Chains A and B, each alone.
Chain A
């Protein structure tokens, strides 16, 4: 528990969103609403093939090229790389392309309308090379030993961005258990790519001057990521690379790594043209050219006792990373750690790998690897139940992690964990047992088959392992000349409520009204680096730093003879300012002393804390039209202190909606690595008419690590819907689908040919070492 609090005044209430008025008035300014004097517009010429050497570039004669600025890789003053975790990702292709829609050159012109035909007039000739588009094709190319077919890296890294082996228990004992267990149950589970589909496309405006260096403003999550990328591309020190976040119309991870690309591009055009340059993608370009959720394949092999106890497990987890490494190693890491679900494993080996293909690089998307591996374990738990003749509930109850237990990484669960209670309550809230029995009675007489399914899961909040220590985040609170506190952070607002909750935390701690707290626009020239706005870390980690900085501010006022308690905060602040001129308090992240993480062995405290959840889906499958509809949804989660009930519920509802889309609607259709359905017309996300009632239930067990006990919740709701829905569809139809998205054509296939694509016969376990190929 944090320090004992008197009754909270502001935390736990739902004040209006800080920037909400501007949003409902339509006066909030997004990047495409801005124009700078003398501004030009930029566009990108992209590859039309997946993997090739560029033979020639020809500029068509119909275009007055002297009016345009053209930037190629040769114009890059620094390194031709977009730095993420490594430097394999070029800013602009130089002689070689590795995926369709890869940026090759950039154009700028004062008239936006003049760009389209100029892009079309650039003719590029290629010498095409063999390409791979799936995990299996990448594995096969690797196995062939033919260096021509290796699309990334060499030696042990050939076609492989990253591998992990995570082991719990004793491998020798596990081998013995697999020989003698009552059952060995195997399964393979797959998830597709998913587009973030923020309604505001990626966009930036860049400026350049010799004196000030580069300035990029735009919609983005992580201002300092873009600063670091610009430093390398322009060979400039960080203080000459300024990044300003504008109002951001949705992100979901899609504006975590990608703004470094578009930001660098616009800045190169600005430098060469001598004008500010705006690049705002249209929808088709954004969908084809920017990152998506990693497709995955997970294979489970599990030894279980007759009564449903997990005895030993092997999990092979593979991600398709696309053409460059970008964030794949860390997406893989989170997926690996979540692969074991909220269960106790006496012995477990997880082998994980992120493979290279010639798709555009996959990147961050809410959940960050966890939705993929949790989909697999939660489908597999239902398979175990069905194989053993137990209920999904029984199998989970036998294996849940609990207070004092250890996760698969060996993390001791010191905070209270009560999955048994969460499951009991979620099943009661949703009427699970009553409905399940009723549907079992009614389904034989109806062409609409109804079903109930659930998923139990957890999501680690904050950066993995030693990540928060490395980030070393800093938060400041300064006094404005009027004596109002202003929060200075690089943490960004993109709908999830950063501005509001951080101001609530500061107001609560300072003992002043919520409306009296200000938060500055993230501008790297002004705000300290409080880390990226990702990984469900803002409420918990940054919020806690705001709380500490606010305490520090009170302390500084008191020490100077202006105790804020006496005549109110404003009075004290004005008194201090009159004497000293300015005041700024700060707080820097300190790793808790009880957190230890071994990056090599993948052992230790993977996350400061976890949020725990049980989600229950009710579905209806129409056996005439082969459509599956979610008809009711209950989301129960334990998330520590809920800082703002309305925003928190909004996060859960929105995440569940994206999860329903992930399960039943959203499919990326790839044609030789190019996204063929790169439009909202044929990439289908849920509309208001498609979604069920979503009932959100919170349990609050405050954690020591978060602001007023808050845990991160942003990603959590993405994890549970897909497995809960497919579990419900299995209950409704008796067919165990193992792959998402599950579209009507897949349902048709599965329901008319039981062993068809995307499904499998529910035969009793067929043991056998058919996977577990040696890992590099």
Chain B
């Protein structure tokens, strides 16, 4: 029953993704380019692709002293592990706590909790110990510039910055969704933590359908704003940035996370060599037919614009199913 429904809709399962896409198209030796966020940053900077500025790095516990000095000078920033997975271990600092004095000793984290410098250094020490690393290996704590919420997305996000996930297969974008943080997700843009995933039509840049946990939603639970049918600003550039960032990795099957920043426009947040499959539920569309279409239409030597156009054409040929809502 449901088995056949999924087949017909072309939904990609975990086993099929692993064996036919990540195992086949993503060379294991290239994984560090996406798993190590410092390396990703380096590659993007070299290729002139916008990515948040690196402010500080602590590789060993001793360097935390130095980190303390740098943090003292900052008002807003993001502290995160270089090898984190699924958004774990990321602390977003919005601003200094504004107290009776001029500049407070504590910072306000997205979500409202306040933190002191000791809290931050303890967290950084946890990161260095490998608490949040994919394989538990010793990690690097990095501090980078905090991105600013684009004004057009202000009403559909809560306590955090949304990002656009674009699946890029062999350099061609095939599916996209925007992930909208909610109160439940604690301002994070991860679907399994309770963020909204809204499928974005590659051709029009409009959201077509949205899910929260496993059910469909039409309005943001915190802002009550409609999350279906709104237009993502600068969506052409979002797709191009995703494709160009993916090109630097030489990986065949990548999920690129692009944030729309108020000041810089589309910025690469991170890249993922094992992108999740929930994007299919958000779009109400299966990946399989689009991936098959890429296999057929792929030609060497296409430039970025041509590939984005090809991706859009493929999406139009394989639209979401049963979108009566």
Please indicate whether A and B come from the same complex rather than being unrelated chains: no
Which residues of A are at the interface with B, using a C-beta cutoff of 8 A? none
